[in-house]
Amino acid sequence: MKKIIFAFLVMVLGAAGVQAEENNFEYDNGYRWFINAHANIGMSLNESFDRPSFGKWLAPGANIQIGYNFNDYWGLFGAFGWNQNRTTFRNTTKFTSWEPSLNVMYNLTNGFVGYKPNRRHNLYAYAGFVLGITRDFDDNFIVSAASVGYPIYPDEVCYGGRIGLQYIWSFSKWVGLSMYADVTFFNDKFNAIDTEFPLDGRINAGIGFHFNISKNTKKVTKTYNDEITFKHDTIYKKIVRTADPERVSYNYATPEGTEGVSNNEADNLKAMATYLKNNKDRVAFVVKYGDGDAIVNKLIEYGVDKNQIIVHDTSKMADSSDADKNNTKVYIVKDFR
């Protein structure tokens, strides 16, 4: 047990170290193919002929998951796991099980709060079909159970179902921490004894690493723009933290009915566009008032990629004052998404 706890701590501390090295990154959590590798600890759920202590019910295991995300919400993964299990009959007995499974997964985070490509934290629910291939029953256990008339089925291939929750904490576009908890139920022959109680099973909790192994081919065209969901003060806190000290902001007169931009403004925007094209880690954060679309269109005309322009339309904000409605601000900031 101490070795298992130590291994968990090593994985968590290693994960924290990776995150410390990658505070700033861009990734899309819709990356398609992935692999998860876990160590776990579980508690058997089967007939208790004796009453052992809680600790004697716990046993280790491990599994590997290989999966594919079909879209931003649904995915499928196959898993192959090994578990040590406990059962009791006049003594606590260990036996092993190999458990291939096929599971459907749903991204609860995207489902409830909406898809965001740079989200670090995602919670999934999953359910699946499992086979339980059991081995290594103790001979004394088999003889003792048979001596009192229980039907015995050692080395049985059982079937079952599984439901669980899995949390992925992404450190970068390729690596993350994976934690899960699930419940698996098999038919009654899983622990080799067939009794009147119809099910055997186990509760598992595990921790390990998540690896993306293929790039998402879907181009993300919606950034924050008009669909932005942050509160106004939250946006400005991000701007203050990420603003380029040498190129903080520009103000442009954009009253309603204005067409185009002045020559001076065009020169400023051309210089800004050149800077953005040479610094892909920066974005133009446009706080749009009035006819501020002219500013955005001019930046695009000068060759700035649309993904380097984040538009915040203040007309959708209740706290936008009349004094603001004649000026559009453009901030050059580090991409805070």
**Side chain identity at residue 333, one-letter code:** V
Pairwise CA distance, residues 282 & 277, whole Å: 9
Domains assigned to the chain: 2-212 (2.40.160.20), 232-334 (3.30.1330.60)
Which of residues 302 and 229 earns the better pLDDT score?
Answer: 302
* Average pLDDT along the chain: 76
Q: φ, ψ for residue 283 (rounded to 5)?
A: -135, 155
pTM above 0.75, yes or no: no
- Distance of alpha carbon 12 from its chain centroid, rounded? 16
Tell me the C-alpha distance between 259 and 328, whole Å.
14
pLDDT for res 180: 98
Q: pLDDT tens digits, residue range 231-243?
A: 444 555 555 555 5
Q: Would you call 18 helix, strand, or coil by DSSP?
A: helix
Please, which pLDDT band fits residue 204 given cuts at 50, 70 and 90?
very high
Q: Which two tokens stand for residue 293?
A: 């679309």
Is the pLDDT higher at 272 or at 133?
A: 133
pLDDT of 297 higher than 80: yes
**DSSP assignment of 282-322:** EEEEEEE-SSTHHHHHHHHHTT--GGGEEEEEGGG-TT--G
Assign 91 a pLDDT band (cuts: 50, 70, 90): low
Q: How far is CA 44 from the centre of its chain?
A: 28
pLDDT at 242: 53
pLDDT at residue 172 greater than cutoff 90: no
Query: What is the mean predicted confidence (pLDDT) over 184-212?
Result: 88
Helix 263-278 crosses helix 293-301 at what angle (to 10 degrees)? Answer: 60
- Distance from C-alpha of 189 to C-alpha of 250, rounded to nearest angstrom: 73
Query: How far from the centroid of its chain's Cα atoms is residue 240's Cα?
Result: 28
- 3-class DSSP assignment, residue 84: strand
Instruction: State which of 17-26, 36-45, 153-162, 328-337 shows the largest mean pLDDT.
Output: 36-45
Q: In what order do the strands lie in the sheet with 282-288?
A: 249-253, 327-334, 282-288, 309-313
What is the pLDDT averaged over residues 198-208? 91
E strand or H helix that includes residue 65: strand 58-69
**pLDDT tens by residue, 245-271:** 455 455 655 544 445 677 777 788 888
103-158 pLDDT, tens digit each = 999 999 999 988 776 788 999 999 999 999 998 888 777 777 777 777 788 778 99
Whole-angstrom CA distances from 134 to 36, 47, 94, 200, 304 are 24, 16, 11, 12, 61
Most confident of 5-14, 66-75, 96-105, 112-121: 96-105
Predicted local confidence at residue 231, as pLDDT: 43
Of 38-42, 64-68, 209-213, 256-260, the range with the lowest mean pLDDT is 256-260
- For the record, the structure tokens of 93 come out as 């007995």
pLDDT at 230: 43
| 297 Cβ contact list (under 8 Å, min separation 6) | none
